[in-house]
Structure 1
Amino acid sequence: MLADTRSYQDKSQAAVLKQLNTTTDGLTSNEAKKRLAQYGPNAIPEQKRNNLLDFLKRYWGPMPWLLELAIVLTLILGHDTESIIIFVLLTINAVIGFVQSNNSQKAVALLKKKLEIMATVRRDQAWQALAASQVVPGDIVQLKIGAIVPADLAIIAGNVTVDQSALTGESLPATASAGDLLYSGSIVKSGEVQAVVLNTGTTTYFGQTVTLVKTAKPKSKQEELMLAIVRYMLYLGIAASVIVAIYGLYLHESPVFILSFVLIFLIGSVPVALPAVLTIVQAVGAMALSKKGIIVSRLTSLEDAASIDIFCFDKTGTITQNKLSIIACQPLTGYTAEQLLDAAGLAADQEHPDAIDQAVLNYAAEIKHPLDFSKRQQFTPFDFATKRTEAVITTSDHRQMRVIKGAVPTILALYAKQHPADTAPASAAIQQLAIANAKKGYRSLAVASVVDSQMALVGVLAIADPPRADSASMLARLKNLGIKPMMITGDSVPIARDVAEQVGIGTKILPAKALKTGTAADKIQLIHESDGFANVFPDDKYQIVKLLQEDGHLVGMTGDGVNDAPALKQAELGTAVSSASDVAKASASIILTHPGLHDIIAAITTSRQTYQRMLTWVINKITKVIEIIILFTLGFFWLKVSLVSLLGMSLLVFANDFATMSIATDNVQSTAGPNQWRLGPLTAASGVLGLWFALVDLVIVWLGLNLFHLSLPVLQTAVLIGLVFNSQFRLLIVRERSHFWTSWPSRTLLAVNLFTIIIFALLALTGWLMPAISSPLLVTILLLTLAATIVLDFLKVAVFRWLKIA
């Protein structure tokens, strides 16, 4: 069993290598293969899908059970054709859902493969480039500038500065040399080392975060609502069935007739295609985002994202560039900003700059201030012992000057040694600048010069990790979408407050310890009154998301580090940014492959479009159920017969449920604010529409009896055709919240719509699968349903506005 990473901290190199049974020449390929089998891949394990079980599961659940019950009952009644049709419906549902889900998973896998991290590993006494997932304990790896630390390591030789923001949230690089530990997910900013691998995968030091990640599981509001809709529609169907059954018994109808009628209600009430529609709509949205480089790893999150009203952002690497920049040049009296920048720039390593050197060089380039390195006679790079850089330059009057830059305490200590009797004024000025910078959230870099053995303090460079260029505009757009942005960061309060103010989040940034006391209600109120929290730990982020969810909010969360992973998993839309660690990516609902926040807007917009498509399907389905229940119940009390045969109802499911799958491709507009699933208003609006269509159906019944003098079988065909035409015309008006002519449906939806109308018209005219009807009757039904739908569109607009359905 592998030891904890931290236990190696104070051990000698020889002891570490001995404990891991390795040498500085690394492992052989055979030994590495054995260790890979023993310890597993260096990756966060993903849940593997069993395709067969995944397919068979689609025959298991509340809706499949109801259809399977219908199959059994139709077989008992001797309706073999109907039972076959229902089984075909069930299988089509399973196949479509499986195929669409599988296609979206393939797209995700392809994008993930493009993001694979590589590592330089010594195997068989030669350096090789291998996938980081193949690294094992005991391997010797080499890290250079820009490399991602692939596992927990102990440095054997060399020095580096590393960015640990993905682990700690701290943006300032840390230094490490022989004997020090490097943690998986860090990024090398300067230097070069060779190191031995201590732990991999979930056994790394920060792999313990995965345990908290596994406990985080948000409920899908979309799934909850869909199950509620199924229940309520089933309750309506059962209630109507009971009423009809009681009346049928009163009329001394046969049990077979009553059971057939109950089956008709059951088939008409159950949203047969719901699982397939959900999967298709989600998969279409996921595929659209994948084309933009956005990986959707949890399909259900795409639906819930439409209702998000609070978005929590990590600061480092998400809102900011995760790159140090010079914010201000602050020379002391007697010096100019140009002289300060000259001294700092010439004391920088222009060939292999670390993060601070790069910030100085970038600033000089940005303000178009040339640095004349030809004047530099000697350069001493950053040393871990002295903690400063130095250069010897030739001045304009041909004297030699030594320029030094480093942390404020380092430079002041050096200045005090050379000027023990008179350090107060200059030192105090530097300290005051450093304190003022700290209050603004900036770090300070001191610069000094030495001429003729006389040291002078030149000034201070204020350093910060600035916001990305598009952060402010993207956050403003997010606010326009009705979403409150909050900053949740492990950085200090002053730094967090400064960045939050710059990007427009606000200035009320509180320390996370403010949430350690008080009741849940007090904490929620504090969260609502603030613009964000600083000094947070992984559990704090997780708890903030949980508290907001318990208060009824749907929450988005962005992050890039291991410290963000639990909150990413818990949030309805956990978003791993492009530079995210493997743990963060494995925990997130979506993964961005481009830097910045622009793709988050695309994800929100796409999710709201997905919501609109599902809203259309839900309104259409509830309307259909109410139409059928009213029509069949009143029809039975009126004529003492079933207005549609069991076979006709099975065919109607094809026309309504499966033809409406084309909604997944429809042209829709996203809303300006978060979407809320409000079942009451939806049911009320659908009730009005359903009642109207039921009245139209009853008019068809009256015309069939009194104008066309139809027999019962032919009347059943006429009613079925009326229901089919209503279902297709209804789809064209409920897809648009305003008048139906406001926007055009997609070509696919329109084609399926017309195809369904034509096919059923031909079936009715030819008498295949149903008794034939005359052409005049067919035209009458077509014109009546079309005219009634156009009239209803005006009522629909008024009802939708009144009930605020958008």
Structure 2
Amino acid sequence: MQHSHPSPTPHGAHTGIAEHDAPEAHHDHGTHGDHSGHEGHSGHGGHAGHGDHVGQFRRLFWINLIIAVPVVVFSPMFAMLLGYSVPEFPGALWIAPVLGTVMYIWGGRPFLTGAVSEIRSRQPGMMLLIGLAITVAFIASWGATLGILDHQLDFWWELALLIVIMLLGHWVEMRSLAQTTSALDSLAALLPDMAERIDGDELVSVSPNELQRGDLVLVRPGASVPADGTIREGRADVDESMVTGESRPVTRSTGDSVVAGTVATDSSLRIEVTATGDDTALAGIQRLVTEAQNSSSRAQRIADTAAAWLFWFALGAAVITAVTWSLLGMPDEAVVRTVTVLVIACPHALGLAIPLVVSIATERAARGGVLVKDRLALEAMRTVDAVLFDKTGTLTKGEPVLAEVIPRHAEAAEVLALAAAAEAESEHPLARAIVSKAQADGVRVPTGTDISSTPALGVSAQVDGHQIRVGGPRLLEETGAGEIEEAVSWREEGAIILHVLRDGEVIGGLKLSDEVRPESREAVDALHSLGVEVVMITGDAEAVANSVGRELGIDRVFAGVRPEDKSSKVAQLQKEGKKVAMVGDGVNDAPALAQADVGIAIGAGTDVAIASAGVVLASSDPRSVLSVIELSRAAYRKMKQNLWWAAGYNLISVPLAAGILAPIGFVLPMSVGAVLMSLSTIVVALNAQLLRRLDLRPEATVAALRDRR
């Protein structure tokens, strides 16, 4: 039925899940950060398949640790250092060389094949350094065993310890990276194993993969929704926290959309399937998390560059060390010092510093309903000093509510009841707002008959023997009735004004407005506490915009802006020297989201793959923007700490390993260098793990900021 009330500001529907061209998942940087291209890692690109590699390196570590014990015990140099004699029996002297060779070939294989891969790709890095160090130690040890080189170059025990420590560091790293993919694992686990499809009068158990569009499925209380769909029968409180991050269940009833993986908590639902498999919201979220974890970031490129420079720094230091000690007439010491330099300089920690932080940050974000599509966007968010909110559907709910009833010649409840009776059959948003208000206030609504609507005039009905009409200014013009006094001030606020007439006489006025989200005020106040300017942009008239702006305490308001002009307003702020984050619904706001330094699509709900945004907020809570800022700042702090620790450690330890303090009697042993190097890796890994403490739920973020003030 066509309705004729003045329309509220139109609010576009969300786009569906868009198929994105996934960024190249395989970054062959040759760093420890992603291990791509390392044959020894079975060619795992990005962070896929870390679970398998955790098991692989765990086994390698424990087996090589067991083999290392006799290698160390039967190593003559180690025995001499500790002052004991190597047990003597036939073949005892060959235990260390034989088992040491096994360790070099088997335990060292991941590093050796990684080194070959780095040479082929002409991207020297950590693997080449490790490979070089263990190869030099292996050759020198055999030389000493066969009597070709000085017996002091017997490095079997150090080679064994180096390989074991390297495998331990690698295992710790792989386990950490595997944990960061748990967001994807938990998302996949949300889908039920079986779905109940309704075929006529029968229920058939099928795999969710077998469902097709148009199928009708039964979801029992406490069960997961197997596919995206529309409720055809039933009403239930649905737990959507695993998809949106919102903790409270949301009431869903006939006609509402539901998302795969959400849970009907209290009642059963009959759902018509609208999307399956890769088209579901859940699949879209998984794609976003995968893309984000596999996307290269500016910080990652800095780490890659640092690792490459460190290779040349280490190689240069090794050459200088070898030449210097040789010129001093100590060729054996030259080999010892050179090997130690190569061992110490392995950028294990540097390669782990950035990717681990970003991976954990991405996973924490996904659990909090913040989906990071572009790592650069996450990194840039910490520098944002102006947040530009689209009004409709972002700061407000994008749907009208009946805010006030002013009675004339009748009680307020009677005015509302008669208006609701006339509007009862209409699906117009204004009509729904009036009927909803009557239901919420417990008003008894009489039955209307002869209901009709007239374009531009409003709706008319017979109620209890009276003609009831509800409409806007044109209705008053036609009937010659005067508007209520409050209409003037309402109009200044930008509200929609309807009058209720009984038999041609005005008996009251209705004030309808776009409802401001209760969380919006908290979001604006919290942004101000961070020193961020808050700007609102809308296509609404100035009166409407200024009213919302005043209510929320917004710094600047751009009103009457057409969708195609929003990006120019973003550019205007950028010309003022501001770093701008644009927050919108991702539909009409697409050009502005793309123009902004960071584009954030909010309230995406099931439409999680909006192409123009770098960050997608699964919930409609504007406070989630603060979660992104807090995550960005926390992640940056961890990156900076890890980079300083990793790079600083190398810059200090390499000269010590080279023997720069030898004149005063201090020489860094190779074994100590290996231990320190792996400890550096573990420190970086543990530091990154502290990010897991972050609670990114909007209410928790706001509370934390409030406590900080």
- TM-score computed with the length of structure 2 as normaliser: 0.57
Residue type matched to 1:628 in 2?
Answer: S
1:527-676 equivalent positions in 2, closer than 5 A: 528=578, 537=587, 541=590, 543-549=591-597, 556-560=600-604, 565-567=609-611, 570-571=613-614, 574-578=615-619, 596-598=621-623, 600-602=625-627, 604-632=629-657, 635=660, 638=663, 643-659=667-683, 661-664=685-688
Q: Which blocks of at least 5 consecutive residues in structure 2 are unaligned?
A: 1-16, 26-46, 58-109, 119-124, 142-154, 220-224, 234-253, 261-268, 695-709
Change (3 A) 1:126 1:470: same
Contact between 2:216 and 2:272, CA under 8 Å: does it hold in 1? Answer: yes
- Matches of 1:481 and 1:233, distance apart in 2: 37
| AA at the equivalent of 1:326 | L
1:378 maps onto 2:447 in alignment? yes
CA distance in 1, matches of 2:207, 2:518: 33
How far has the Cα of 1:613 moved from its partner? 3.8
Structure 2 equivalent of residue 240 of structure 1: 317
User: 1:466 aligns to what SS in structure 2?
Assistant: strand
- Asked if 1:401 is matched to 2:466, the reply is yes
Q: For 1:213 and 1:303, locate their aligned partners in 2 and report how far apart those are by CA, in whole Å.
A: 13
Q: Find the residue that maps to 2:512 and give its secondary structure.
A: strand
Give the equivalent residue in structure 1 for 2:133. 70
Identify the residue that residue 212 of structure 2 maps to in structure 1. 136
On the 8 A contact 2:593/2:599 being kept in 1, the answer is yes
| Aligned 1:37-56 pairs, distance under 5 A | 49-51=48-50
With over 3 angstroms needed to count, the CA separation of the structure-2 counterparts of 1:282 and 1:535, relative to structure 1, is closer
AA matched with 2:171: V
Quote the Cα distance in structure 1 between the aligned partners of 2:284 and 2:677: 50
Whole-angstrom distance in 2 between the partners of 1:390 and 1:127: 47
Quote the Cα distance in structure 2 between the aligned partners of 1:482 and 1:131. Answer: 51
1:418-445 deviation per Cα after TM superposition (whole angstroms, max 9, x unaligned): xxxx72644x959x969985x855445x
Deviation, 1:471, is: 1.4
CA–CA distance in structure 1, aligned partners of residues 285 and 675 of structure 2: 53
Residues 474 and 460 (structure 1 numbering): CA distance in 2 closer, same or farther, change over 3 Å? same
Determine whether 1:525 maps to 2:575: yes
> Over aligned residues, Cα RMSD in angstroms?
6.2
Per-residue deviation, residues 156-183 of structure 1 (Å, max 9, x unmatched): 99xxxxxxxxxxxxxxxxxxx9xxx999
Counterpart residue identity of residue 97, structure 1: E
Query: Residue 770 of structure 1 aligns with which residue?
Result: none
Report the equivalent of 2:512: 463
Matched, 1:514 2:514: no
In the aligned structure 1, how far is the partner of 2:579 from the partner of 2:638?
35
Name 2:433's counterpart in structure 1.
359
What does residue range 28-39 of structure 1 map to in structure 2 within 5 Å?
none
2:619 alignment partner AA: S
The aligned residue for residue 304 of structure 1 is 379
Counterpart-to-counterpart distance in 1, 2:450 and 2:131: 76
1:515 & 1:302 partners in 2: Cα distance?
A: 20
Aligned residue-pair number = 541
Contact 2:228–2:258 (CA under 8 A) maintained in structure 1: yes
Deviations 1:279-316 (A, max 9, x none): 665676677778x8557777968973772525555555
Show CA shifts across 1:347-371 (max 9, x none).
4659x999656633665688xx763
Distance 1:511 1:548 in 2: 17
Q: CA deviation at 1:577?
A: 2.9
Match of 1:503 in 2: 552
Whether the aligned pair in 2 keeps the contact of 1:490 and 1:534 (CA below 8 Å) is: no
Identity fraction in percent: 17
Alpha-carbon deviations, 1:633-652, whole Å to 9, x = none? 6726736x981232231122
Instruction: Decide whether the 8 Å contact of 2:422 with 2:451 is kept in 1.
Output: no
In the other structure, the counterpart of 1:94 is 170
Judged with a 3 Å threshold, the aligned counterparts in structure 2 of structure 1 residues 424 and 504 are, in CA distance, closer, same or farther, namely same
- Give, in whole Å, the separation in 2 of the partners of 1:480 and 1:566: 30
Q: 1:613 to 1:537 in 2, by over 3 A?
A: closer
Q: Structure 2 vs 1, CA of residues 532 and 230 (structure 1 numbering), >3 Å: closer, same or farther?
A: closer
Query: Unaligned stretches of 5+ in structure 1?
Result: 1-40, 158-176, 187-192, 395-399, 417-421, 580-595, 671-806
Residue 84 in structure 1 maps to residue 160 in structure 2: yes
Measured in 2, the distance between the counterparts of 1:362 and 1:381 equals 22
Deviation at 1:92, TM superposition (A): 2.8
Q: CA deviation at 1:447?
A: 4.5
Aligned pair in 2 of structure 1 residues 229, 532: CA closer, same or farther (>3 Å)? closer
Give deviations 1:700-719, integer Å, cap 9, x for gaps: xxxxxxxxxxxxxxxxxxxx
Conserved in 1, the CA contact under 8 Å of 2:520 and 2:552? yes
1:387-415 per-position Cα deviation (integer Å, ceiling 9, x unaligned): 98776555xxxxx334344x649xx5xx6
Partner Cα distance (2:452, 2:217) in 1: 23
Q: Does 1:265 align with 2:290?
A: no
Read off the aligned partner of 2:447 and give its amino acid letter.
Q
Q: Which residue of 2 aligns with 1:223?
A: 300
Of structures 1 and 2, the one scoring higher in RCO (CA 8 A, sep 6+) is: 2
One-letter amino acid of the counterpart of residue 478, structure 2: T
1:251 partnered with 2:316: no
Structure 2 counterparts to residues 11-26 of structure 1, below 5 A: none
Q: 2:529 is aligned with what amino acid?
A: N
8 Å Cα contact 1:315/1:489 also seen in 2? yes
1:270-289 map, 5 Å: 270-276=346-352, 281=357
* Distance across 2 between alignment mates of 1:448 and 1:575: 43
1:643 corresponds to which letter in structure 2? V
CA distance in 1, matches of 2:53, 2:676: 28
Q: Equivalent residue of 2:160, what SS?
A: helix
Give per-residue Cα distances to partners, 1:569-622, cap 9 Å, x unaligned. x52xx142336xxxxxxxxxxxxxxxx344554554355344434433333333
Q: Distance in 2 between matches of 1:282 and 1:98?
A: 15
The change in CA–CA distance for 1:607 and 1:359 in structure 2 (over 3 A counts) is same
SS of corresponding position for 2:447? strand
Task: Please name the residue that 2:401 is paired with.
Answer: 325
Paired residue secondary structure (2:468): strand
The letter of the residue matching 2:402 is: I
Tell me the distance in 2 between the aligned counterparts of 1:610 and 1:121.
Answer: 45
Contact residue 381 and residue 629 of structure 2 kept, 8 A: yes
Structure 1 residue 632: Cα displacement: 4.7
Q: By how many angstroms is 1:477 displaced?
A: 0.9
Q: Following the alignment from structure 2 to structure 1, what is the Cα–Cα distance between the partners of residues 632 and 583?
A: 27
Offset, 1:221: 3.2
1:476 is aligned to 2:539? no
Relative to the length of structure 1, the TM-score reads 0.51
Hey, what does 1:189 align to over in structure 2?
A: none
- What is the distance in 1 between the residues matched to 2:571 and 2:377? 29
3-state secondary structure, aligned to 2:181: helix
Cα distance in 2 for partners of 1:323, 1:248 equals 79
Residues 208 and 227 in structure 2, CA contact (< 8 A), matched pair in contact too: yes
The offset of 1:81, in angstroms, is 3.4
* Distance of 1:381 and 1:96 partners within structure 2: 75
Query: Is the CA contact (8 Å cut-off) linking 1:343 and 1:447 kept in structure 2?
Result: no
Q: Distance in 2 between matches of 1:261 and 1:80?
A: 16
Match runs of 1:128-167 below 5 Å: 135-139=211-215
* Contact 1:408/1:434 (<8 A) preserved: no
Tell me the CA shift for residue 251 of structure 1. 3.4
3-state SS of the aligned residue for 2:518? coil
CA contact (8 A) 1:138 1:198 kept: yes
